[in-house]
């Protein structure tokens, strides 16, 4: 039955990877895989009490990740509902391709560390779609946005879901991961950016932004500023909240959402009912990407099932026996995340290697956070940011391979080199 469990997991994985070929949403495949895996676990172990105990144990860890994501997504959606991101985008006025590329990539890098790489990619790709009319030029911008968003997300506990998972799981601490990965992540972006700059010479004609009605724009300008700064301040304060209270990060995120919700109620209290309906927190909640939340739930349940019966421990033993260097193992995990989703890969790694073997802030976990966060840039389907960009701009898989993949891979290895130089040989 152990082989049946592994087969179900692999088939479920294929269902996720081939989502568009089989026309079945990956969230459905993940949920089905997660549920079936636990059914097989009950058959293998023949101990319902133990299985339920293990399931609830894993579910508490999974729920902390899901509550964190749902809180963050709601805050971002509310800021977007008020067009808060226009505060950033309206200040970009250059018509030089080179200057715009550097501005967009650097802005994407730091914004993805504060928000997350998926949200930032959606915001920046939408912006570029509004500004740049030439299709070939725009696609190069979008490809580099994916690289910048993944590099920016890797070094922040807020920026990439895999780094968030390691932070919540106690494998890394917020300040240390930022300190150790900021330089490798910058190099991961700068090397591709320098290499691609010669291709981006010349100028382009700026498109005009399509604004809403002047009356509504004037009426919501103050509201937009309040919601934007309260939302971003709330997101940025989550690591501080955890440090001060020692409560799990999802509590800080829910606290930030509660503050923003109260502020929104004050903003709307004297508005017409139609306006309140359009700009309330309820509208933002309707727009939260629940299929993604359910996808994480399903795939994390499936991985926890493998962990419960010892499959991941056996996989770790095989990796350790095959490759003497942990650096090579983690580097391969990062490249593998370009083919399959990095969330289950990191979840599997957390199950394979214990905190007794690698304690908090060990260079193994730091390198894993970097590799899982940036390795997905090697292919357009290798990260949530890439998939989002692919959906918005209809990027072809092989166009990305030809134009962007080699840049992303060079940046990936350059960042690993910098990490090994700065941290030393403790990752081996």
The residue among 204, 105, 194, 85 whose CA lies nearest residue 150 is 105
390-417 pLDDT, tens digit per residue, is 767 777 778 888 999 999 999 999 999 9
Q: Are 260 and 234 in contact (CB under 8 A)?
A: yes
Report the distance separating Cα 25 and Cα 295, nearest Å: 9
Contacts of residue 95, defined as CB under 8 A and 6 or more positions apart, other chains included, come to 203, 204, 205, 206
208-257 pLDDT, tens digit per residue, is 544 444 445 444 688 889 998 999 888 888 878 887 898 888 899 899 99
Supply the DSSP symbol for 237: H
Supply the DSSP symbol for 115: S
Report the distance separating Cα 17 and Cα 65, nearest Å: 22
**Using N-to-C axis directions, what is the helix angle for 311-322 and 2-17, rounded to 10°?**
80
Task: Enter the pTM of the model.
Answer: 0.73
Confidence of residue 33 (pLDDT cuts 50, 70, 90): very high
Judged by DSSP in three states, 96 sits in strand
User: Does the CA dihedral 106-111-113-118 come out positive or negative?
Assistant: negative
238 alpha-carbon distance from chain centroid? 16
Q: Where are the domains of the chain?
A: 2-427
Phi, psi of 92 (to 5 degrees): -90, 115
For residue 352, the model assigns a pLDDT of 76
312-336 pLDDT, tens digit per residue, is 767 767 777 787 788 888 898 888 8
Please say if the pLDDT value at position 150 is more than 90: yes
Please say if the pLDDT value at position 174 is more than 60: yes
Residues in the chain: 428
For residue 209, the model assigns a pLDDT of 47
């Amino acid at each position: 039955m152990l082989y049946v469990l592994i087969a179900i997991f692999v088939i479920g994985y294929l269902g996720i990877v081939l989502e568009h070929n089989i026309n079945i949403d990956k969230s459905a495949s993940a949920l089905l895989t997660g549920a079936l895996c636990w059914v097989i676990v009950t058959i293998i172990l023949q101990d319902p009490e133990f299985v339920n105990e293990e399931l609830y144990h894993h579910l508490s860890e999974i729920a902390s990740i899901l509550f964190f994501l749902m809180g963050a997504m709601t805050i971002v959606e509310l800021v977007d509902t008020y067009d808060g991101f226009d505060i950033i985008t309206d200040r970009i006025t250059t018509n030089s391709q080179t200057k715009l590329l550097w501005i967009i990539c650097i802005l994407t890098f730091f914004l993805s560390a504060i928000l997350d790489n998926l949200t930032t990619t959606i915001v920046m790709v939408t912006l570029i779609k509004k500004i740049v009319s030439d299709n070939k030029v725009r696609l190069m911008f979008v490809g580099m946005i994916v690289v910048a968003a993944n590099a920016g997300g890797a070094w922040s506990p807020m920026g990439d879901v895999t780094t968030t998972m390691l932070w919540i799981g106690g494998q890394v601490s917020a300040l240390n991961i930022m300190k150790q990965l900021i330089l490798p992540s910058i190099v991961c972006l700068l090397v591709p950016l320098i290499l691609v700059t010669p291709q981006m010479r010349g100028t382009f004609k700026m498109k005009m932004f399509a604004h809403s009605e002047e009356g509504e724009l004037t009426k919501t300008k103050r509201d937009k500023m309040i919601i934007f700064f309260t939302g971003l301040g709330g997101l940025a304060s989550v690591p501080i909240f955890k440090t001060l209270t020692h409560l799990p990060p999802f509590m800080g995120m829910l606290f930030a959402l509660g503050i923003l919700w109260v502020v929104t109620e004050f903003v709307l209290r004297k508005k017409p009912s139609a306006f309140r309906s359009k700009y309330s927190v309820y509208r933002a909640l309707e727009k939260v990407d629940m299929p993604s939340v359910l996808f994480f739930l399903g795939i994390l349940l499936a991985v926890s099932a493998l962990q419960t019966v010892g499959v991941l421990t056996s996989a770790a033993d095989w990796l350790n026996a095959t490759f003497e260097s942990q650096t090579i193992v983690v580097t391969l995990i990062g490249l593998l995340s370009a083919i399959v989703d990095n969330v289950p890969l990191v979840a599997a790694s957390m199950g394979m290697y214990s905190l007794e073997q690698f304690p908090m802030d060990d260079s193994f976990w730091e390198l894993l956070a970097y590799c899982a966060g940036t390795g997905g840039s090697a292919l357009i389907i290798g990260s949530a940011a890439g998939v989002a960009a692919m959906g918005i701009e209809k990027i072809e898989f092989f166009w990305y391979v030809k134009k962007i993949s080699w840049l992303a891979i060079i940046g990936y290895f350059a960042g690993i080199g910098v990490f090994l130089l700065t941290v030393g040989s403790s990752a081996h």
